[in-house]
Amino acid sequence: MSQYQHTRIKHTNAPAAFVTESAQLLIKLINDAIAARGRCLLGLSGGSTPGPIYTALGTSSEVQWDKVFLFLVDERYIAKEDKNANHNMLLNTILKAEKPIPEANRILLNTTLPIAECVADYGARLQKLFHEYGPADVLTLGMGPDGHIASLFPPVVPAGFQAEPLTVNTQTEQFAVRERVSLTLPVIQAARAHVFFFNGADKEQIWNTMLEHSSEGATRWPALPVLEQGRTTVVFNT
């Protein structure tokens, strides 16, 4: 596990502290990027855990939101208005703020397109963003009970390890929405900072299981290559 020793670990033991500390961490990373490069490319993951964090983040007056470009790390292939869509979650959290990220700075999926076109269209728009400004500055991530990150489900399909195209269509039989769109692992790895959020002792157990079985590799545990970059912070609430 020595290659993961540079991962920064933070612990909280109350929901309010978890939300506050997580939001403050993101605010610092965003502002560091703006100070260094004049903008922040912010990629957010969905799920139930980060919602309150994104709400707190969006209400912050410490961030110049017009200098933030927002995109999704992954999405369910459903209408953006669907309660299970990550797009919908953003609309009800960070984008619900009084002064949200400008619409022109939002790179989100068009799930009205056929799935193959949706994946290609999203990848092309992200490619344009990264070509102009460089890789993502900040990515948030979680981990499912099976060890997946983004929508890269073990065993991760070969296309999930390709640098181009930037996006991949994946499927899962474990959750309600089968068809997914995800950034590929090289795109996730390239981000300048990664933040994992884990809420609950069961999530910390999954994390520890991954580290104990790291010899199984990235196909089984796609978070491992992210940790190898040494630019990761993990926030646990237990």
- Taking only Cα atoms into account, the Rg of the chain, rounded to an integer number of angstroms, comes to 17
In 3D space, the residue among 227, 236, 212, 173 whose CA is nearest the CA of residue 7 turns out to be 227
* pTM of this structure: 0.96
> What are the structure tokens assigned to 62, written together?
């410490």
Q: Give the integer Cα–Cα distance in Å for 19 and 55.
A: 9
Instruction: Give every strand in the sheet of 179-183, ordered side by side.
Output: 74-76, 179-183, 167-171
Q: Give the integer Cα–Cα distance in Å for 216 and 223.
A: 12
pLDDT confidence band for 176 (50 / 70 / 90): confident
The 8-class DSSP code of residue 50 comes to: S
Show the beta-strand stretches assigned E in the chain: 8-12, 40-44, 68-72, 74-76, 106-107, 138-141, 167-171, 179-183, 194-199, 232-237
Architecture of domain 8-146+165-237: 3-Layer(aba) Sandwich (3.40)
pLDDT confidence band for 1 (50 / 70 / 90): very low
> What are the structure tokens assigned to 108, written together?
């989100």
> What are the structure tokens assigned to 75, written together?
């999405």
72-111 per-position pLDDT tens digit:
999 999 999 999 999 999 999 999 988 899 999 999 999 9
Query: What average pLDDT does this structure show over 36-48?
Result: 95
Report the mean per-residue pLDDT for the chain: 95
What's the burial of 71, exposed, middle or buried (CB within 10 Å: 0-12/13-18/19+)? buried
Numbers of helices and strands, H then E, in the chain = 7, 10
